[in-house]
């Protein structure tokens, strides 16, 4: 076989991706809709001159942001994997950014190799609206939120549970078991943050959970009632989904990941300032 006929070596390239979810109809490619997957695939194809499929760690819904989504694609070009971040950032629109890129083993998979995903939900509780915060938070000022009650409601969720009560219709998953590894609610000035980490998430799970948790924090629902609803799978009593714009895929965890932690670990800045007093 001549040198020209030698097969090209395939490389698997991992990407750490940020995007403003309010500009997209979710992660997954959909007909006649602008999605993150399509935007990145289209840009890679412009570079390679051929179509490519990227696989994401999670399929975020329309309006949901990502601080460190992870995806991969296979490449047979001579481009070094570490160069893909710069190459794509020069071509992608301003609402998508590649934090870093690196080669991973051929059997590594952005979705199936992930050990956990972590989401953060942000509430802005000051009565005065703020344009620079609006796209990334739920402006909830109607009632005071008691973060201690909200944390009390979250504590029983730690562990492996059947969480069908927090699952939207339309999911193709064949079960509703989720291992919740962490769940924290805390206040910083005018902001309340909820962070939850699990091995995986059900379709619409975090926003449904947050919608009910607000009722606990505002005193409209007891902790005992909140717990009874999800433990006994009373899906019909979970009626409200929190706005997508407050939710962000914070990071994804793997056993071995070639990119350094500053690139992916905590890249959504926490909003913080004191409430204004009259």
Q: Which residues are designated catalytic?
A: 61
Q: Strand 65-75 and strand 177-188: pairing?
A: unpaired
Cβ distance 70 to 59 under 8 Å?
A: no
Q: What angle do CA 202, 208, 214 make, to 5 degrees?
A: 145
CA 100/CA 227 separation, integer angstroms: 40
Backbone angles phi, psi at 137, to 5 degrees: -155, 160
Angle, helices 205-217 vs 147-154, to 10°: value is 130
Q: Which position has the token pair 């730690």? A: 158
- Specify the residue for token string 């204004």: 276
From the list 224, 152, 215, 137, the residue with the least C-alpha distance to 185 is 152
Contact (CB, 8 A) for 198 and 154 = no
CA distance 91 to 48: 13
Closest CA to 217 of 156, 148, 275: 148
Q: What are phi and psi of 235, to 5 degrees?
A: -60, -30
Question: Residue for token digits 């602008």?
Answer: 34
Residues 248 and 58: beta-carbon distance below 8 Å? no
């Amino acid at each position: 076989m001549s040198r020209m006929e030698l097969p090209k070596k395939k490389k698997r390239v991992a990407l750490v991706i940020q995007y403003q979810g309010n500009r997209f109809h979710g992660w997954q490619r959909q007909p006649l809709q602008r999605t993150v997957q399509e935007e990145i695939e289209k840009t890679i194809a412009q570079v390679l001159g051929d179509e490519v499929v990227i696989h994401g760690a999670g399929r975020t819904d329309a309006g949901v942001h990502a601080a460190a989504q992870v995806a991969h694609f296979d490449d047979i070009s001579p481009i070094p994997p570490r160069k893909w971040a710069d190459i794509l950032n020069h071509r992608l629109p301003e609402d998508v950014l590649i934090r870093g890129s690196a080669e991973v083993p051929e059997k590594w998979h952005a979705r199936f190799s992930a050990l956990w995903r972590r989401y953060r939900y942000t509430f802005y509780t000051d009565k005065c609206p703020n344009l620079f915060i609006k796209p990334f938070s739920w402006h909830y000022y109607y009632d005071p939120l008691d973060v201690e009650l909200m944390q009390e409601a979250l504590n029983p969720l730690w562990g492996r549970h059947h969480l069908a009560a927090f699952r939207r219709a339309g999911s193709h998953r064949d079960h509703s078991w989720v291992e919740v590894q962490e769940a924290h609610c805390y206040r910083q000035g005018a902001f309340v943050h909820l962070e939850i980490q699990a091995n995986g998430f059900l379709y619409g799970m975090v926003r449904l959970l947050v919608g009910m948790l607000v009722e606990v924090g505002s005193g409209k629902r007891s902790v005992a009632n909140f717990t009874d609803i999800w433990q006994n799978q009373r899906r019909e009593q979970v009626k409200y989904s929190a706005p997508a714009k407050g939710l962000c895929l914070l990071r994804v965890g793997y056993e071995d990941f070639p990119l350094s932690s500053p690139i992916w670990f905590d890249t959504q800045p926490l909003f913080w300032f004191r409430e204004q007093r009259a």
